[in-house]
Amino acid sequence: MLSPRSAIRTLPAYHPPLAGRSGLRLDFNENTVGCSPRVLERLRGLTPEDLARYPERAPIEEEVADFLGIFPQELLLTNGVDEAIHLLCQTYLEAGDEALIVVPTYSMYRIYMMAAGAKLISVAAGKDFRFPVDDILTCLSPRTRLIAVANPNNPTGTVASSADLLRIARSAPAAAVLVDEAYFEFCGETLLPERGNTPNLFVARTFSKAYGMAGLRIGVLAGDADQMRAVRLVSSPYNVNAVALACLPIALADQAYIACYVSEVRKARGRLERVFQSAGIRFWPSQANFVLARVASDKLGAASFVEHMRRRGILVRDRSADPGCEGCVRITLGPSEHTDRLLGALQETIAELGVTQGASRS
């Protein structure tokens, strides 16, 4: 009888709660208003011929390389950062190799690492989700072949310093080190300029978050040109669809739109953090477009909080099951009209559930 590989038979299923997402969607860290209107105009202008042809990635890669100030050979456009993670696993991991993550973090790292048959090494974040650089260094071994770090991290919003990340990359020269900058625009710090002198470093970016194009599925993986040649061998030549490729240059050209959205999100972050502070709710200062907060002492309390917000038309994400996140929810931020709605519902929910300083203290 046909049976999947043993690594797949033991793979835990990952089901993001995508069904029935009606209301204001503050649960997936998406852009809450969507892409630049110029992108929509481009979509309306697509012709049957645009869709009939196989997509041609290379010319758009040149434009993206120009935008990032790197050479086209140093990057690959991908079907979102998710595909970039998958390609790195396929390129560098043999069954039994060690792949390291810091938890809590983005779920897809472990899925792809485990699917490749790697042994997962999960290093716990430090106090207040600090980046555990010394613990990571201790866990490195000659079998460590891939290290993935989200920076800023999801779901915590915390950042690792460039110095710490480089220290790790230089201490593990035989490991691919992925710095996933999916939330770069909200934070502004990048390791991209280091790729030239750190050949095992890869930086990923996405157009799913600040650019509001999660539905188009497009991201970038950048790294040393020789390493990227190997990664490109694994990728389909048609991994990014024609619609996404047509829209990307237009999205990149409208930086005013991105700057305005990012500035709104930063303001919203401050407003939400002030509400948590005055309610005595524990939260972790974030460099991304979301904030993690402990709204209850346990999983049941967090689920009830999520349900009360949902009844008020606001979707937020229960992160209680993540290591160190008991009783926590993650709330995505958007522009001021969305923040007004969020804070209204939040204050009512806090009052109704009696979320108090004592109940929410870590």
Ligand X SMILES: Cc1ncc(COP(=O)(O)O)c(C=O)c1O
Considering only residues 132, 219, 223, 301, which one is a binding residue for ligand X as defined by CB under 6 A? 219
Residue 214 binding ligand X, by CB under 6 A: yes
The residue among 86, 77, 134 whose CA lies nearest residue 114 is 86
Examine residue 150 and tell whether it contacts ligand X (CB under 6 A): yes
With contacts defined by CB under 6 A, name the span among 63-71, 75-83, 122-130, 321-329 that binds ligand X.
75-83
With H, G, I as helix, E, B as strand and everything else as coil, classify residue 207. Answer: coil
Residue 185 lies near ligand X (rule: CB under 6 A) = no
The maximal CA–CA distance of the chain, rounded, in angstroms, is 62
**82 makes contact with ligand X (CB under 6 A):** yes
Closest distance of CB 277 from ligand X, Å: 25
Q: How far is the CB of 80 from ligand X (least distance, A)?
A: 3
Using rule CB under 6 A, residue 206 touches ligand X: yes
- Residue 64 interacts with ligand X (CB under 6 A): yes or no: no
R_g (Cα) of the chain, nearest Å? 21
208 binds ligand X (CB under 6 A): yes
Structure-block tokens of residue 206: 């996405």
Considering the rule CB under 6 A, would residue 182 count as an interface residue with ligand X?
yes
Region binding ligand X by CB under 6 A among candidate stretches 56-64, 76-84, 226-234, 235-243: 76-84
d(CA 175, CA 237): 26
- The nearer residue to ligand X, 204 or 275, going by C-beta atoms, is 204
198 binds ligand X (CB under 6 A): no
Sorted by sequence, the CB contacts under 8 Å of residue 199 that are 6+ apart come out as 173, 223, 224, 226, 227
User: Which residues have a Cβ under 8 Å from the Cβ of 44 and sit 6 or more positions away?
Assistant: none
Task: Examine residue 106 and tell whether it contacts ligand X (CB under 6 A).
Answer: yes
332 binds ligand X (CB under 6 A): no
Query: Could you count the other beta carbons within 10 Å of the beta carbon of residue 105?
Result: 23
Handedness of CA 297, 298, 301, 307 (dihedral sign): positive
CA distance linking residue 112 with residue 87, whole number of Å: 9
Contact residues: ligand X, CB under 6 A: 29, 80-82, 106, 150, 154, 180, 182, 206, 208, 214, 219
